Amino acid sequence: MSDDNRTKLQAILGDKYDVQDMIYRGGMGEIYLGLHKTLGTKVAIKIMIQRLTDDPELKKRFHREAQLYANLRHPNIIHIYDFGTAEAFDYMVFPFIEGETLYQKLQREGRIDVKECLHIIISVAKALAYASENNVIHRDVKPSNIMIEKNGNVLIADFGISKNLKDIELTLPGTVLGSPKYISPEQVLAGEADSRSDQYALGIIFFEMITGNYPFQGTQASALFYSHVNEIPQIPEKIVPLIQPEIINIINKLIAKDPASRFDDFNSLIDELTIIQMEETQIHRKDGHHHTRSGKNSSKPMFYFKSALLITGIAILLVLEYFWLDMRQTEKIGAHSVANNVQKPVPAANSMQIENQTAETQITPVKAETMTTDTEITASQNQDKPMASLLSVSEIKKLLLNFGEPDRSGLFQIGINQKTFQIGETIAYSIEAVKDCHVILLNFTTNNEIIQLFPNRFHPESGIQAGSVYSIPSQGSFDVTGPAGLETVVGFAGETALDLLPLAFDQSPFVTVTDANPENLEQMILKMRGKNPDHFYRRTIDFQISNE
């Protein structure tokens, strides 16, 4: 398809540009390397993929992105050369950046020098400050959208899901827009964002650059959403002595859960960072240690570090003494009491969303057969297995891959933007049906999770209209987080909803089930056993995740 797109694009732009290889593919479009025929300069040509050009909302966003680039003239924001609409594509033309993204730099170097961190963060903050002053918030600040030229200049790109605060029509109620690794808590919980949401994303990036590690442990978007809302990252103790306390304070302020606890605006952040940058330039030594203004080594971070170690050691000795005495007195092992105090895992959140569109017309039967009551029908050939033996994600997957009838009539289709992904690439799904029906879409991940892609808590209605394409997410795309392996998406369509999962986990806007949630796995089995499998058509689609 990419070669076909390149040929069409060359026919459209051939009088001015020589369209060469595709250099990027995402959920919303593709980017091609081009050469200006007259000037001989390299350009990047971004197109909106053909199947999305008929969606008026997505088309409006693409056009608005071009307008934003044209109006936001700042040395740290990539500028636009050209924009146009043709029968096959809408396209934008940008300068080709000789350099790398911050994502690539982090992958190559890990932890980045403090001086370079400050330069990058200040540059991005200046761009976001300028955008905010022009009533624009980015909403998708992440390392892959930050570009570093060979001369060291830093640019921010991809305003595709940015929001003009003067335009109230471009964000649908209940949608979550942004990348799971850098999305703010308020975007997860309420879907709302302002410039302080961009501050949060920049703070996560700052943490990642300073420490060389992402602050949260989860890899799936569901776990990341939960972490953003509930977990407070801590700078590793081995890193603390190497950076100024003021930097730690700034990072903690940027990633505060409450937006009101962050900086009033980006200019306030820039002022504080600039002071630290000046001190770094004046007193940074070759040995990599930081010094006070008098030129002496600052002893406070190391003092706190050693004090913490001493207190921790004393605490460990007291705990060991307590258990030794307890064992002497009771002659029992205390493991039972410890096990009773282990907190039960909290269900995490799902990473997907869909527009809340319901069928207004009467839903027609998808299969005309003699119907029996639901209670008389078994869910699968494993009906008689003991419940305890089925309570795992792998067993549920086996059940669902044999539940219902294969959709040989083409009632509905499941789409995906690629068949093979590398970790860090973007992924997007779609659903389309030839007649009004109800659809459920489940993703069995390489992380041994069941993620309900459609419907979700924000949009619990599973009815879809014939001829409409439903994109998941409804805007933008999600990052592939891995681990590597084969993932399976299974969908069911019918005249009634196949409601297998609850849609109201506490503090979780999406729905995910793992082996740590046996009660929800049991609920899925019971609900399958209460449904007539002949009333549902099944489709599956696989895709590969690679580390290479």
The domain ranges of the chain are: 2-95, 99-283, 300-340, 374-546
DSSP 8-state class, residue 473: S
> Taking the domain 374-546, which CATH number applies?
2.60.40.2550
Domain 2-95: what homologous superfamily? Phosphorylase Kinase; domain 1 (3.30.200.20)
Verify whether residue 198 is a known catalytic residue: no
Q: Is the separation of the CB atoms in 89 and 47 below 8 Å? A: yes
Residue with tokens 């008689």: 384
Rounded (to 5) percent helix, strand, coil in the chain: 35, 20, 45
- Distance, in Å, from the CA atom of 28 to the CA atom of 6, rounded to the nearest integer, reads 16
- Distance, in Å, from the CA atom of 251 to the CA atom of 232, rounded to the nearest integer, reads 12
Cα dihedral sign, 507-511-514-520: positive
In degrees, rounded to 5, the angle at the alpha carbon of residue 262 between the alpha carbons of residues 256 and 265 is 155
Q: Is the separation of the CB atoms in 223 and 516 below 8 Å? A: no
Is the model's pLDDT at 124 over the cut of 90?
A: yes
Over residues 254-279, the pLDDT tens digits come to 999 999 999 999 999 999 999 888 87
- Distance, in Å, from the CA atom of 83 to the CA atom of 91, rounded to the nearest integer, reads 6
Per-residue pLDDT, 301: 47
Q: CB-hemisphere CA count at 13 Å for 220?
A: 24
Q: CB-hemisphere CA count at 13 Å for 35?
A: 5
**Residues in CB range of 96: below 8 A, 6 or more apart:** 33, 34, 41, 42, 43, 44
- Confidence band of 173 (pLDDT split at 50, 70, 90): very low
Over residues 343-393, the pLDDT tens digits come to 333 333 333 332 333 333 233 333 333 333 333 333 334 444 555 556 789
Per-residue pLDDT, 489: 95
Among 90, 140, 198, 407, the active-site one is 140
Question: Which residue would you say has higher pLDDT here, 175 or 83?
Answer: 83
- Confidence band of 60 (pLDDT split at 50, 70, 90): low
CATH class of the domain at 99-283: mainly alpha
Is the model's pLDDT at 176 over the cut of 80?
A: no
